Amino acid sequence: MGRSCTAERHNGAGVEEDGAHNSRRKERVEEQSLSGKSMGKWTLGIETTAHTLSFGLVDNDGIPYPAASDTLRPDEGGIHPREAADHHKDVASDLFSQVLEKYDLSPSDIGAVAYSQGPGLGPCLRVGAAVARGLATKMGVPLIGVNHCVAHIEIGRQQCGCDDPVLLYVSGGNTQVIARLNGKYRVLGETLDIGIGNMLDKFARNQGIPFPGGPKIEQLANEYLARTPEPSMDGLQLPYAVRGMDLAFSGLLTAAQRLVDNGAPLDAVCWSLQEHAFASCVEVAERAMAHTGKTELLLGGGVACNQRIRTMCEEMSRDRDGESFAPPRMYCIDNGTMIALLGWIELHHRTTELEGSAIDQYLRTDQTPIVWS
């Protein structure tokens, strides 16, 4: 059985939302928006690991609220870390005001400030940390730096109501299969070269498709299926990305580009590229489920917005008598709300002093002790 934790759309500041909240929490987004200041102190989350600056909130009970976000979309090429950092500095003040206005809050309603301490692009992380320090100091509230990867896990668990899943984390800079073992989220398998989202974006960019390329690849793959009801891999074979429990996508990228260069239809190559890349990820996730004995699979990261990988995870989990979960798409992409949620969770156990608030762009998923679960 598979479950996608989604509901009606609700327009917000800088985001298009398609999600409801955890099945254990029946409040809808619209109802939460009206509760305003009656819910005590809020936790603010600041996400700046890459191309997106996002301010999100959770209330005093840990209920998340959709974020206000702004994403750098270059006219050509990929994301330059310094350009992204400059973008974040330029929009930070206005975006902070937007998220407060969205929920009828003032700075005095904020009880803590959480930020992405790592991993990510160094210049971008430093902007987020500086903004967080400034706000926390000015408002006189606790500061807490959190692990971006762990935040993806916790927002997924909260939204979908799953307890102890294997996480298939598929994003631009990361591809990991993760499970909680002995007090930490352990990486059971990961990419050996580039993240799956990075691979898809690079392939798209080579075809003249602007960033982000993943949604366009998904669209072209669906168009190919619409005109080819019984698709075949004949002439569209690509190398398989699995390396034991790890993955490698650079060879897949090169081979897919070679097919296009040799005259294969672009939409057909997009379909084959998705099938090979996603099947590799799902295979490693299945092995992790078998190894750990866990019956829940949770998708996270920006590539988890893709419906095809969601379907493949559902089919695999169903075959194992398990269940696959995918949070609303607005919580798959990088967002400040997941940072706020993890900050709220960890505030019960620790805070970050200013002298220990430096970013760590190489922070690992398994470096954060899971003391709350």
We report the CATH number of the domain holding residue 171 as 3.30.420.40
Tell me the pLDDT tens digit for each residue of 157-208.
Answer: 999 999 999 999 999 989 999 999 999 999 999 999 999 999 999 999 999 9
Who has greater pLDDT, 219 or 211? 219
Q: Quick one: pLDDT at residue 24?
A: 36
161 domain residue, yes or no: no
10 pLDDT band (50/70/90 cuts)? very low
Of 32-41, 55-64, 353-362, the one with minimum mean pLDDT is 32-41
In a domain, 279, yes or no: yes
Are 181 and 242 in a shared domain?
A: yes
- Per-residue pLDDT, 80: 87
Instruction: Return the amino acid letter for 335.
Output: N
Res 94 pLDDT > 80: yes
Considering the domain boundaries, does residue 312 fall inside one? no
pLDDT over 60 at 30, yes or no: no
283 and 350 housed in the same domain: no
Mean pLDDT of 129-144: 97
Do both 194 and 150 map to the same domain?
no
pLDDT at 348: 87
Percent of the residues in the chain that have a pLDDT greater than 90, as a whole number: 84
Structure tokens at 55: 């301010």
pLDDT in tens, 54-84: 999 999 999 999 999 999 987 766 778 999 9
User: What is the number of domains present in the chain?
Assistant: 2
- 193 lies in the same domain as 147: no
Tell me, yes or no, whether 136 and 245 share the same domain: no
- Bridge partners, residue 146, by sequence: 116
Same domain, 18 and 90: yes
Q: Which residues contact 64 (CB under 8 A, 6 or more apart)?
A: 21, 56, 57, 58, 155, 158, 159, 331, 337, 338, 340, 341
For the whole model, what pTM was predicted? 0.89
On the question of pLDDT at 39 being above 50, the answer is: no
As a whole number, mean pLDDT of residues 353-372 equals: 95
The predicted structure's pLDDT at residue 79:
77
Residue 338 has pLDDT above 90, yes or no: yes
Q: Are residues 170 and 150 in the same domain?
A: no
Residues 134 and 177 in one domain: no
Same domain assignment for residues 46 and 150: yes
Residue (of 147, 224, 156) closest to 19 by Cα position: 156
From CA 150, how far away is CA 114, in angstroms rounded?
13
Residue 225 domain boundaries: 166-293
Whether residues 50 and 15 share a domain: the answer is yes
Average pLDDT, the chain: 90
Sign of the C-alpha dihedral computed for residues 363, 365, 367 and 369 taken in this order:
positive
Predicted confidence band of residue 5 (pLDDT cuts 50, 70, 90)? confident
Residue 213: pLDDT band with limits 50, 70, 90: very high
